[in-house]
Amino acid sequence: MDTVDDAREETDRLILDTIENFLARDVKPYVHALEHADEYPHEIVARMKELGLFGAIIPAEYGGLGLGATTYAKIVETVSAVWMSLSGIFNSHLIMSAAVLRFGTDEQKRTYLPKFAMGEIRGGLALTEPNCGTDLQAIRMTAKRDGDHYVINGTKTWISNGIFGSCFALLVKTDPGAKPRHRGMSLFLALKGPGFTVGRKLEKLGYKGIDSAELIFDDYRIPADRLIGGAEGSGLRHALGGLELGRINVAARGVGVAKAALDASVKYAQIRETFGKPIGQHQSIQIKLADMATRVEAARLLVRSAAQAYDKGERCDMEAGMAKLFASEAAVENSLEAMRIHGAYGYSTEFDIERYYRDAPLLAIGEGTNELQRLIIARQLIERNPA
């Protein structure tokens, strides 16, 4: 067992070393300019394709790296500590991939997973609508059967990779009158084409560089064989299954941002002086650093727990919810504390601290709000521990 664990750790180290070299060479020198220009990082994305990141969790038999969620979470943390937006570009894509991998037909897996793994087809998950976010059962987008096609109408919004992606796992109502509502929901693989247009790019406080957009479907005809799983009525289950991986990813992003804020603060506390000594020697700063470090380590352990459960094939919505809740709040708190430690330099757009402060709140909202995570955790506690 130790030999297996040692081999896994060695493999993880080699992968992370490669990622760190990529970040140092191809990302760090350019992230500040790209982020402030809100410019899509085409050259960086091309390099991510070469590294296989778009196939990170896709099995080797389909051309992917075949990594487990535990290793994947480490990659996401490492990437997010440098530029969180990059992790969103491949995470949204991999949630779509996970839906096909876990629930798709054999033909769908053979057709799409190799193209997903190579980054030949890239995209994401299209769930949110203008009048529907957390309550997915309230979506209004419809898909009506017409021979060997479906005709889809409606609008999705806040869709990551919406502009530069080409395929999306699209949640729709195939039976709007179904009771309970989730039985009328289905998930399709929607490739861009006639009837599928991109609306406006949505401007954001943070999370720059990655494209977030409206997707508009007007009598969009889609072949029936792109219905994930081949049968109607399981769309919500398929989407939520993908979101388990997505929440682990968001939690890992939180660890990355919280760690970046901590590292910058520890360094700054040793070089900035007040009252004749480095500020790191002042008790008030030491307390902040101690709390920040504890948040990072606790968040990392929660992410590891959720990722290990996912890798075992166990239900992990509670574990992923805990990790996402705690790690995202850790990112928010650490980014604010880092700004306070850095003072005016933290507030300046010339440095990275203000970016962490703008990026972190997204993590408390995306992939299900933290208020929703608390409900999931509580309900699972009761379900798993009946009186």
Compute CA distances 367 → 136, 154, 345, whole Å.
Answer: 12, 21, 32
Domain boundary among 190, 207, 234: 234
Number of domains the chain is built from: 3
Q: Both 151 and 103 in a single domain? A: no
Q: pTM value?
A: 0.94
Q: Both 101 and 204 in a single domain? A: no
Q: Both 209 and 324 in a single domain? A: no
Are 168 and 220 within 8 A, CB to CB?
Answer: no
Range of the domain at 216: 124-234
C-alpha span between 302 and 294 (Å, rounded): 12
Q: Both 242 and 379 in a single domain? A: yes
Domain boundary among 234, 268, 285: 234
Residues 6+ apart with CB under 8 A from 124: 92, 93, 95, 96, 159, 160, 161, 162, 165, 168, 169
Q: Both 154 and 70 in a single domain? A: no
**What is the rounded end-to-end Cα distance, in angstroms, of the chain?**
37
* Tens digit of pLDDT at every position of the chain (387 positions): 566 666 778 888 899 999 999 999 999 999 999 999 999 999 999 999 999 999 999 999 999 999 999 999 999 999 999 999 999 999 999 999 999 999 999 999 999 999 999 999 999 999 999 988 778 899 999 999 999 999 999 999 999 999 999 999 999 999 999 999 999 999 999 999 999 999 999 999 999 999 999 999 999 999 999 999 999 999 999 998 888 888 999 999 999 999 999 999 999 999 999 999 999 999 999 999 999 999 999 999 999 999 999 999 998 999 999 999 999 999 999 999 999 999 999 999 999 999 999 999 999 998 889 999 999 999 999 999 998
DSSP 135: -
Provide the token pair at 12.
């993880």
- Helix (H) or strand (E) run with residue 191 in it: strand 185-191
Q: Both 241 and 380 in a single domain? A: yes
Q: Both 55 and 143 in a single domain? A: no
Q: What number of other Cβ atoms are within 10 A of residue 166's Cβ?
A: 14
Reduced DSSP (H G I as helix, E B as strand, rest coil) percent helix, strand, coil of the chain, to 5: 60, 15, 25
Q: Both 131 and 66 in a single domain? A: no
**350 given a catalytic annotation:** no
**What's the CATH number where 276 sits?**
1.20.140.10
Provide the token pair at 92.
């949204």
Q: Both 250 and 216 in a single domain? A: no
Q: Which entry of 120, 273, 367, 371 is annotated as an active-site residue?
A: 367
